Amino acid sequence: MKGYPDLHASALDTGQQVRLLATIDWRTAFSDPALVVVVHSAPTGAADDRARTSRLVTEGSSPCYREMIITSSIVESEVFSKQSVRILALRKRFDDAGSQPANFSSMSQAAILFSDADKTAADSSVRLDAAVQVAFVTAVGKFAVMQSFH
């Protein structure tokens, strides 16, 4: 936006998010070696995912099925507070075929670790993009842990 610092949002465009989500070791994060994870490359297209009671993927999906939807990813900054990445996410858990989903929506954030050396480096913009992406992955990981308690 004109007049405001570049917060490197392009580092988290949809394509980048898909790439980053594919790098997460979900089986370890969820302590489930049998976990099957499908990362979709496009938004759900639903007007209200929280209110939706049907599965996004119906054909061939397991009876034990969950959806994790990143509803927003935000690169944030504030006077007196460090830059960070925050995600708003929704988890929908379908325990068996025909069951109503159990929703959990929350947010998690992770600091963007960007040192003074990074700031003065010739490729500081690239480094900042990388730091934003690391923070995004960390925030998603934190949400994955949070949702396991609900």
Partner 1 sequence: MIGLRYALSLIGAALAAPAAMAQPVATPAAPPASEPAEVAAPTPAPAAPVPACELHVWPAARVSAITQGVGAGFGIIGALIDTAAHADQNKRDTAFITGTLDAQAQAQVLRDLDLPAKLHLPPSQVIIHDQGIDTKRDDPQRLSNSTTPCYTEFVVRSLSYFQNIAYRGQMRTFLEVRRFDGATVKLDFRDSRHEDLKVKLPKEGEDTGPATDALLTAFRGDVAFFSDKYARKYK
84 binds partner 1 (CB under 8 A): yes
78 three-class SS: strand
Compute the least distance from the CB of residue 122 to partner 1, in Å: 26
Nearer to partner 1, 48 or 116 (CB): 48
The answer to whether residues 110 and 84 touch, using CB atoms and an 8 Å cutoff, is yes
Q: Which of 25, 42, 116, 122 binds partner 1 (CB under 8 A)?
A: 42
Residues 6+ apart with CB under 8 A from 57: 38, 65
CA distances from 26 to 9, 71, 118 (A): 25, 19, 30
Residue 134 burial (CB count, 10 A):
17
Q: Among 144, 133, 132, 8, which residue's Cα sits nearest to residue 69? A: 144
Residue 109 burial (CB count, 10 A):
16
Question: Any bridge partners for residue 88, and if so which?
Answer: 72, 107
Residues 15-34 that bind partner 1 (CB under 8 A): 17-18, 21, 26, 30, 32, 34
Q: Which of 23, 25, 28, 40 binds partner 1 (CB under 8 A)?
A: 40
Compute the least distance from the CB of residue 92 to partner 1, in Å: 9
Residues 97-136 that bind partner 1 (CB under 8 A): 103-109
Residue the block writes with tokens 């759900």: 44
Residues 45-74 that bind partner 1 (CB under 8 A): 45, 47-50, 56-57, 61-74
Stretch that binds partner 1, among 2-10, 113-121, 123-131 (CB under 8 A): 2-10
Which stretches of the chain bind partner 1, using CB under 8 A?
1, 4-5, 7, 9, 12-14, 17-18, 21, 26, 30, 32, 34-45, 47-50, 56-57, 61-81, 84, 86, 88, 103-109, 146, 150
